[in-house]
A and B are shown apart, each in its own frame.
Chain A
Amino acid sequence: MRSKSSLARLTRLEFDAYWGFPTVELVVFTGLLSVANRLETGSGQLNQGFYGFGILIQILMIGTITPRTFAGSINRRELIVLLSYPTKRWKILLSKIIVSFAVPFIALSLGVLLNTYLFGASFLTFAPYVLMLVIAIQVLYWCSLSMFISIMLKNEIVSVFVFLLFMFGLELSPLTASGQFAYLTQLRSNMVMYGSILSLVQGSGTLSSDFGIAIGFPLLVSFALILLAIGYFEKVMQLD
């Protein structure tokens, strides 16, 4: 009797494999860091803990976890073993994407909840959940980008550097400064996303035109990258 789908089984395998990585420490560290960051800025805004230095940590975290999951498993020769079992390639990749997304998302969400509790905000308002949604979109976007780079380069270390160069290179570029890549790098869109979604769910204020760009654009790019990655991995990619 088939109790679980093979995607669920593979995802479980990936999750179990993650406990070799200091996942618990990462989750706790992220939570504490977001609190410290907010204390340091002295802001009353819930999402303040996830700006600036907080964003940097998030990018570093995803930029190292995702290549470890995919390119690292090629380099360690774990993927070649996995691909020799009767599994569909797209399921293997999707399970890796799910785990690469879920671990940072859980870590960051804990940060949100910790912030909410420590700064005396109410759990009954939309704010913490909107922030978690914003984080989910951001993490998905970074994850899909990092996974795509990993698949193309097939090397863990190079993938980490290319992802970081891509993120910070765009952020520091003159085009970003003039706003061209502000949403692509996502370093600036956190605030816009948070404000836009909060306005929407609270029914207050006008829905900003930024809403589409800040939410629609990263979601669209994420799904496009995931589809491209799956298509490439399923039909083209060869492993030796």
Chain B
Amino acid sequence: MTQLIVTENLVKFFGDIPALEGLNLKVPEGISGFIGPNGAGKTTTINILLGLLKATEGKAYVFGLDAWHNSFEIRRRLGVLHERPAYLGNFTAQKYLQHVARIYEISDYERKSAEILTEVGLSSAKDKPIKTYSAGMTQRLGLAQALIGDPELVILDEPTANLDPLGRIEILDMIKELNEKSGVSFFISSHILPELEKICRWISIIQYGETIAQGNMNELAEKYSANVYMIDVSNPELFAEQMGKIDNLVEKIWIQKNVVYCKVKDTEKLHNTVPKLVAKLNLQLRSFQPLRSNLEEIFRTVMEDSSE
């Protein structure tokens, strides 16, 4: 798997204040999520990757190139949507994008900017000055300018912030489509975890400037699942009562909508016990599976683990 972004023991201090303390990231191709609480160092990391900040220690690579020394080469191949971006307000979106397209040396800049504006849903407002745009429209323009150079990788810092629900769905669909059709990779920093969960294959979680978890979404779900199993049997009350009597098997057991849920102490023992118990009680086992954690649960578990 090709790694688009790699950081090795990345450290960044602002004066005496540490922002990153040995960050180790590995971000593959595809759509990746970058999450962490406020002040975890996400924006600092992005700015180091763009060559806007120089790391105090450690290395940051994008496309295998050093982020500080090869910043220009890197920026030719990626697009960025910053958090709280500002664009020269007296320009119209069309004129601004044409300027950006020319910076990317796109010869057919008029056609390209018109295409992108349509894609992000701004074609009807293309002739209005940017300063008259709503926050959502400015965000769409941000996406447009990030995509105009046909980048291999797009870094998005809070891309759906300020967007209405419909706008969010459209943007997420667009990201997914661009990845599937054109192979564009995305590195998305966001606090809206259910959205990331829908589109990301890879997740990196940071806290206090350190990587505390990263990996494939399924691997993380498995690793940080709260060990909760769902057992659908013909007599849930009887089954739950008998299970609860077995030593060191479950921490907690409950019934919800006629299905037994249990937080397990020993998963191996559970896998051996359930079929035996079902047979012993002469019940019908309809389903027996672990409850997959969603990203919010993973995030909460990872945060709790790291603070212990």
Contacts and interface: CB of A to CB of B under 8 A. Distances in A.
Interface of A: 1-2, 4, 6, 9-10, 12-13, 16-17, 19-20, 76-78, 80-81, 83-88, 238-240
Contact of B103 (A20, A78, A85, A238): A85
Interface of B: 14, 43-44, 47, 50, 52-54, 72, 75-76, 80, 82, 84-91, 95, 99-100, 102-105, 107, 145, 149
A81 B82 contact: yes
Contact of A6 (B43, B44, B95, B103): B103
Contacts of A12: 99
Given A86-B149, A240-B44, A16 B99 contact: yes
Residue from the set A6, A9, A77, A80 with the largest chain B CB neighbour count within 10 Å: A80
Contact of B91 (A2, A17, A76): A17
A239 B86 contact: no
Contacts of B145: 81
A19 B50 CA distance: 30
Contact of B87 (A2, A10, A81): A81
Contacts of B80: 84
Contact of A86 (B14, B52, B103, B107): B103
19 contacts: A2-B105, A4-B102, A6-B103, A9-B99, A12-B99, A13-B99, A16-B88, A77-B85, A80-B47, A81-B82, A81-B85, A81-B86, A81-B87, A81-B145, A84-B75, A84-B80, A239-B53, A240-B43, A240-B47
Which secondary structure dominates chain A's binding surface? loop
Nearest to B51: A83
B85 A239 contact: no
Given A1-B107, A85-B104, A238-B53, A17 B88 contact: yes
A20 B88 contact: yes
Contacts, number: 75
Nearest to A83: B52
Contact of B75 (A16, A77, A85): A85
A10 B103 contact: yes
B52 A239 contact: yes
Nearest to B80: A84
A88 B99 CA distance: 16
A10 B104 CA distance: 12
Contact of A17 (B84, B85, B90, B102): B90
Contacts of A16: 88, 91, 95, 99
Given A17-B90, A77-B85, A86-B75, 18 more contacts: A1-B107, A6-B105, A9-B102, A16-B99, A17-B91, A19-B90, A78-B86, A80-B82, A80-B85, A81-B87, A84-B50, A84-B80, A84-B82, A85-B149, A86-B149, A87-B72, A87-B75, A239-B52
A182 to B, nearest CB: 40
A88 B72 CA distance: 7
A84 B86 CA distance: 12
A48 to B, nearest CB: 36
Nearest to B46: A84
A214 B75 CA distance: 44
B90 A240 contact: no
